[in-house]
Amino acid sequence: MSFEWPWQYNFPPFYTLQPNVNTQRKQLAAWCSLVLSYLRYHKLYTIDVLEVQESSLFHNKKIQRKLPIEAIQVVFEELRKKGNLEWIDKNKTRCLIMWRRPEEWGKLVYQWVSKNAMTNSVFTFYELCNGDDTEGEEFHGLEEWLLLRALQSLQAERKAEIITLNDSKGVKFF
C-alpha cells in the first residue's frame, strides 16, 4: 500500500507558517501527524535535517511548495515537546524519531511475551528485534537504541530486567 498523503499536503498554505495563532496550531498538529506517519511508513528512526528537507515529506514538487527550514525547526520542536523526537547533537542537525513512544513499544513487546507465555525467559536484543519468531510483529526491525528505551520503561514497571550477556545485551521478563 503506497503512502497516503493527507489533504493538507496539497494545500499551498500548508507550506507557510501561519501567523494566526489558532490556524498555526492546527497547521502544526497536521505537520506532526504527517511526519510521524511518513517515518513510520518508511520505518525510519533517525533523521538528518538537511537531507529530510529535500525529501518528498517537506517538498511537494507537484504544487511547487517547500516547507522552509525555519518552519521545519518549529515542527520538530513541537515533536520534541510531545516526546516523539530527541536531538542527537547540540547543533540540531540529526535527531531520533520515535513515532511510537518507548513506553508504547514496551507494552507491545510485553504483550507478545505474555501472549506466547514466555515470561521468565531471557532474550537477547537481537532476538527480539530481528529474530524469526518476532517477524510479523510491529516491533520487528526496531533499532536497538529504541528497544533499549522500551525495555527500560518496562524495567521501571518491574516487568523486565536488562542484563549484560557476553558481548551483547539481553532482557529477562517477569
Partner 1 sequence: MDRFVWASGLLEINETLVIQQRGVRLYDGDDKTKFDLGTVLLSTHRLLWRDHKKHDCCIALPLSQIIFFEEQAAGIGKSAKIVVHLQPVTLNKEPGPYQSSKYSYIKLSFKEHGQIEFYRRLSEELSQKRWERISVSQPMQSPSRSQAGKVKAVGIVGIERKLEEKRKETDKNISEAFEDLSQLMKKAKEMVDLSKLIANKIKDKQGDISEDETIRFKSYLLSMGIANPVTRETHGSGTHYHLQLAKQLVEMLQVPVEEQGGMMALTEVYCLTNRARGMELLSPEDLVNACKMFEALNLPMRLRIFDSGVMVVQLQSHSEDEMIASAVETVSEKGFVSSEEYAKLVGISVLLAKERLLLAEKVGHLCRDDSVESLRFYPNLFLTQD
Please report, as ranges, the residues that interact with partner 1 according to CB under 8 A.
7-8, 11-13, 15-16, 18-20, 22-23, 26-27, 30, 64-65
Q: Which amino acid is at 97?
A: I
Closest CA to 28 of 65, 80, 103: 80
| Burial label, 68 (beta-carbon count in 10 A; 0-12, 13-18, 19+) | middle
Smallest separation, CB 24 to partner 1 (Å): 9
Closest CA to 127 of 142, 149, 105, 116: 142
Rounded-to-integer distance, Cα 74 and Cα 94, Å: 15
Identity of the residue, 32 or 146, whose beta carbon is nearer to partner 1 in the bound complex:
32
